[in-house]
């Protein structure tokens, strides 16, 4: 308890610039943790929804009925469901325009699914750049506060005839707290960024594989329609 009070005392007695650096790092750390907890929920939900939809899709359900169940629910789609919905909706729209080449119908559906996939990836990657920025810059921001604090401590010795370690120790200690806070903000941000980026990449590959498999199914249906 005494050590904690001593740390708070050092923070309060630090120069205004070092305190500003500490405040910035504290805000960056809090924002990083908010993003980490939120992003963890979002990615876990995306993986669960992808698993559920894959089970429905490959269970043998008629694609038209599956599409109608999605559009009839009047809710916002996301993930693999949105990719399917956008691709199949475009496929139906082109089919209703009359007899079109099968390749043109499939290419239209693929183009629509690529757009949906890109949007999904962008949403999953949202705020990851902030974690990367905090992870890469926080140690340097903390180091800047430390260098400034140490420079200030040694500058104060210029007017002293006899310098002792006791005179510079408090200033150096309060300056080193800035470095510690920089590491405290950076380490969770780097870990969160690497972990979430890996999850996003896995989901993107999963979505892309589904897009290719669904395109093959639409290709067969398009050729079957052209033969009728």
pLDDT above 50 for 1: no
- Where does the pLDDT of residue 152 fall: very low under 50, low under 70, confident under 90, or very high at 90 and above? confident
Give DSSP secondary structure letters for 109-139. Answer: HHHHHHHHHHHHHHHHTTTHHHHHHHHHHHH
Q: For 50-65, write each residue's pLDDT tens digit.
A: 999 999 999 888 888 8
Residue 164 sits at the vertex; the CA angle it makes with 163 and 170, to the nearest 5 degrees, is 110
Written as six digits, the tokens of 24 are 């910035």
**pTM score:** 0.83
User: What percent of the chain has a predicted confidence (pLDDT) above 70?
Assistant: 82
User: What percent of the chain has a predicted confidence (pLDDT) above 90?
Assistant: 50
> What average pLDDT does the structure give for the chain?
84
pLDDT above 70 for 86: yes
Under 8 Å between Cβ of 156 and 218: no
Q: Is 79 exposed, middle or buried (0-12, 13-18, 19+ CB in 10 A)?
A: buried
What whole-number distance in Å separates Cα of residue 73 and Cα of residue 77?
10
Token pair 């693929």 in the structure block, residue: 110
Q: Averaged over 156-171, what is the pLDDT?
A: 62
Under 8 Å between Cβ of 182 and 143: yes
Domain boundaries, the chain: 2-227
């Amino acid at each position: 308890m005494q050590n904690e009070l001593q740390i708070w005392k050092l923070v309060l007695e630090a120069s205004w610039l070092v305190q500003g650096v500490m405040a910035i790092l504290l805000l960056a750390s809090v924002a990083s943790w908010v993003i980490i907890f939120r992003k963890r929920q979002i990615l876990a939900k995306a993986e669960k929804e992808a698993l559920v939809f894959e089970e429905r899709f490959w269970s043998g359900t008629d694609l038209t009925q599956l599409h109608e169940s999605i559009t009839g629910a009047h809710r916002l789609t996301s993930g693999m469901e949105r990719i399917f919905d956008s691709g199949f909706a475009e496929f139906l729209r082109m089919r209703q325009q009359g007899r079109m080449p099968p390749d043109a119908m499939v290419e239209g559906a693929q183009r629509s699914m690529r757009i949906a996939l890109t949007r999904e990836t962008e949403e999953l990657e949202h705020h990851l750049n902030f974690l990367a920025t905090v992870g890469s810059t926080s140690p340097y921001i903390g180091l800047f506060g430390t260098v400034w604090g140490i420079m200030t401590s040694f500058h104060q010795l210029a007017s002293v005839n006899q310098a002792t370690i006791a005179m510079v120790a408090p200033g150096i200690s309060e300056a080193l707290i800035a470095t510690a806070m920089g590491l405290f903000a950076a380490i969770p941000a780097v870990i969160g960024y690497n972990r979430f980026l890996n999850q996003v990449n896995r989901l993107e590959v999963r979505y892309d594989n589904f897009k290719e498999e669904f395109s093959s199914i639409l290709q067969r249906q398009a050729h079957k329609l052209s033969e009728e």
